[in-house]
Amino acid sequence: MPDTDEIARNRRRVPRTPAADPNAEGGSGLKMLGRPVRVMAKARSWRWLRFAFGGATEEGAERSREPTRAPLPKALTRTLRGFEVPPSPYVTEDRSPKTNSSKAGTGWRAAYFRLRGQRMSAGGEPAWLLALVFGAVFLLSALPLIRLGWAGIKGLEGGEAVRVLFEAATFAALRNTLITAAGGMAISLFVGALFAFVVALTDIRGKLALSFAFMLPMMIPPQVTALAWVEMSGPSSPLLKTLGLAPPLGSPQPLYSLAGIALLLGVQHAPLVFLAVKAGLAAAPRDGVEAARLSGASPWRVFRDIVLPLSSPGLIAGAAIAFVSGIGNFGIPAILGIPASIETLPTLIFSRFASFGSSTFGEIAVLSTLIALISAAGLLLQQRALKGRDYRLIGLAGARAAFTLGRLRIAAEALLWSILALLLVAPLLALVASSLVPAYGVPLSFDTMSLNAYGEVLFRQSMTLTALKNSLFLASAAAVGLLAVTIPAGYLLVTRRGRLASLLAILIEIPYALPGIVLAVAFILAFAAPLPLIGVSLYGTIWIILAAYFSSFLAVSLKPVMSAFLQMDPSLEEAARLAGAGFLRRMRDVLLPLLAPAAGASVILVFLIAANELTVSALLWSAGTQTLGVAIFNLDDSGSSDLASALSVLVVVMVIGLMAALEFLAKYLPEGVLPWRN
């Protein structure tokens, strides 16, 4: 082999040049294979060598398509003669079947790749994944809302249901809804923004504890919040009677009014404003604040001219969310408004549904469409307020402790904790006191104190036991079952870009943005008739509540999963793909172990909200399918305030316990999963 020896000696004298592609010799463990693979790829481009690599060509077509290339050096030709190409290290899911025959033509190979390409997307996931996710989201989101819109249109066309729009009761409910929602928005904006500015921009102590406690009203069911405040105020309050502060008998209950409803809506939704404003402040440029301070600007000037304008998107978004949430809130207007004959649109729908008639479905469809239109108008006003403004930030983000309070720090801390004591601690203490006395209005003392209400609720009341079992089942099934949709949906939203991904995200968010009463009506209209093919009706069963929970909490379950996917290094999955692992294998061995903490947080968050839900289940429950929220409402409505208070205390304890479990697991969770740590 003289020629081969001569070539080898010449190659040793030729200096090696670095690869032009910076990614060709990355830290993937394939450095030694990079240069031979490039040589082989270049050698393949010459038509007459393709037979050596198993690729026959069509002579006429190839000559017309292939450009003229320079001939190979003779020395390299003699070296490559008889060389068999090793299998490519870059193995993907669309790899061709192994063959050692040189008779396999390009026509057969091209057909094979075309067939595989139809079943695989550009991102590497199978094509059935997109169809599966879109089908599930369509059934849970789009189909019920389409049915609701169609029922509303038919009601307007028929004329029977349209008369409900011109009734005096509808105008009064619309006016009350707008007044209470706007008043609640103003209170939420003030309290939530105050906490957000102080916690995010000052050097006060105990920020995590303050955020954790401030988030509790949002996690506690609204009917429990209303019941706690009723037990804290008025002439029959057990707590006020024990302290000797109760107003004289015969005095009116101040919360049974539009102002009382607006106040509690503000307390319930203030954490939403807190989250929106705090997230915006976290992205504010701290170097701009520092530059203004170094220029001699006073703290008030810096806050007015720099911080407040930059936080306006969060303020506007928080106000819009609080307004829309107030429009669809059912628990607070039901507890406070029904005794005072004050109806809002959600309670009007509830009363129309209770007095079922021939035109009930059409009427509630029209009223629900009206609520949806008002909510959409609130969100459009938010977009219009932000339109035309540029909020792009330049500089280092994260304006933390921008203002040092000095001697005022103790006063600021005392102010925040005092507000929390008034809004949270005092109502919960009143709720506990009411659960320990035999009847509403009896003062709490050692003689009247008793745990009979807890024993009645936990062991003797069949309704509360059924409600507890149903709520635990529905919350667990929704929390765990939603992972089957949110994990592949999160994967698609992260790996895909474009209109399909945007449409998928919108369909997921719509049910969560709509008021719960509207979603409940949509599911009634969609599933009142028996299902096609199988002839089974979900209406009146526990399964229609579970389906509505799947739709309502889909966005809640997706948030932790999306956070985990966004923080995951894509090279991990790419390495598995290069090793030949299919999608299901990559999901099982690579992605799911990394998603486990976020999936656990998703399960707890959905369980936390679903176990105390009232607005959706208020219209969907029937005998034997009542939930904890429905049980609390029914007990209070029937006058059993001690049982309602005892069940509410148990719910609050469960909420605090689940939130504490999430806080304990915080170090294992992705950033942004826990709202009070955002």
pLDDT tens for 89-108 read: 444 444 444 444 444 444 44
Question: Taking 70 as the threshold, does the pLDDT of residue 391 lie above it?
Answer: no
Instruction: Read off the pLDDT band of 389 (50, 70, 90).
Output: low
pLDDT of amino acid 102: 40
The tally of CA atoms less than 13 A away on the side-chain side of residue 651 is 40
pLDDT of amino acid 178: 92
402 φ, ψ to 5°?
A: -70, -25
- Cα 380 from Cα 362, distance rounded (Å): 27
Instruction: With beta carbons less than 8 A apart as the criterion, state whether 525 and 152 touch.
Output: no
Question: Taking 70 as the threshold, does the pLDDT of residue 66 lie above it?
Answer: no
pLDDT of amino acid 264: 93
Q: Which are the contacts of 122, defined by CB distance < 8 A and separation ≥ 6?
A: none
Instruction: Read off the pLDDT band of 538 (50, 70, 90).
Output: confident
- Cα 678 from Cα 672, distance rounded (Å): 5
Say what the alpha-carbon torsion angle 396, 400, 402, 403 is, to the nearest 10 degrees: 180
Which residues does residue 56 pair with via DSSP β-bridges, in sequence order?
105
What pTM, to 2 d.p., does this model score? 0.72
- Cα 633 from Cα 300, distance rounded (Å): 47
545 φ, ψ to 5°?
A: -65, -40
Question: Taking 50 as the threshold, does the pLDDT of residue 330 lie above it?
Answer: yes
**CB-CB neighbours of 171 under 10 Å:** 11
- Cα 262 from Cα 259, distance rounded (Å): 5
pLDDT of amino acid 417: 93
Tokens of 421: 């004591």
pLDDT of amino acid 27: 40
Instruction: With beta carbons less than 8 A apart as the criterion, state whether 171 and 367 touch.
Output: no
- Cα 557 from Cα 218, distance rounded (Å): 17
Q: Give the mean model confidence (pLDDT) for residues 128-150.
A: 86
Which residues does residue 120 pair with via DSSP β-bridges, in sequence order?
126
Beta strands in 563-620 (DSSP E): none
pLDDT tens for 15-65 read: 444 444 444 433 434 334 344 444 444 444 444 334 333 344 444 444 444
Which residues does residue 403 pair with via DSSP β-bridges, in sequence order?
202
The 10 Å CB-count burial string (b at 16+, else e) for 190-216 is ebbbbbbbbbbbbebeebeebbbbbbb
Question: Taking 90 as the threshold, does the pLDDT of residue 180 lie above it?
Answer: yes
From residue 409, how far is each of 193, 404, 483, 502, 523 by CA, in Å? Answer: 18, 8, 44, 45, 51
Angle in degrees, 0-180, between the axes of helices 207-219 and 168-201, rounded to the nearest 10: 170
Q: What is the CA radius of gyration of the chain?
A: 32
Question: Taking 90 as the threshold, does the pLDDT of residue 313 lie above it?
Answer: no
Q: Which residue has the tokens 């991904």?
A: 501
Instruction: With beta carbons less than 8 A apart as the criterion, state whether 137 and 550 touch.
Output: no
Q: Give the mean model confidence (pLDDT) for residues 145-158.
A: 76
More confident residue, 52 or 531: 531
Q: Is 360 exposed, middle or buried (0-12, 13-18, 19+ CB in 10 A)?
A: middle
pLDDT tens for 482-506 read: 999 999 888 888 887 777 878 888 8
105 φ, ψ to 5°?
A: -85, 160
The amino acid at 115: L
Mean pLDDT is highest, among 118-122, 162-166, 350-354, for 350-354
Q: Which are the contacts of 562, defined by CB distance < 8 A and separation ≥ 6?
A: 490, 493, 494
Instruction: Read off the pLDDT band of 80 (50, 70, 90).
Output: very low
Question: Hey, what domains does the chain have and what are their CATH numbers?
Answer: 127-145+452-670 (1.10.3720.10), 159-449 (1.10.3720.10)
From residue 89, how far is each of 114, 120, 568, 580, 632 by CA, in Å? Answer: 22, 20, 24, 10, 63
Give the distance, in angstroms, between the CA of residue 124 and the centroid of all CA atoms in the same chain. Answer: 26
Longest dimension (CA), the chain: 117
Q: Which residue has the tokens 């107030």?
A: 326
Instruction: Read off the pLDDT band of 480 (50, 70, 90).
Output: very high
pLDDT of amino acid 443: 80
- Cα 231 from Cα 646, distance rounded (Å): 12
- Cα 327 from Cα 345, distance rounded (Å): 8
> What is the torsional sign of CA 122, 124, 127, 132?
negative
- Cα 158 from Cα 155, distance rounded (Å): 5
3-state secondary structure of 202: strand
Question: Taking 70 as the threshold, does the pLDDT of residue 565 lie above it?
Answer: yes
Of 568, 491, 577, 518, the closest CA to residue 129 belongs to 491
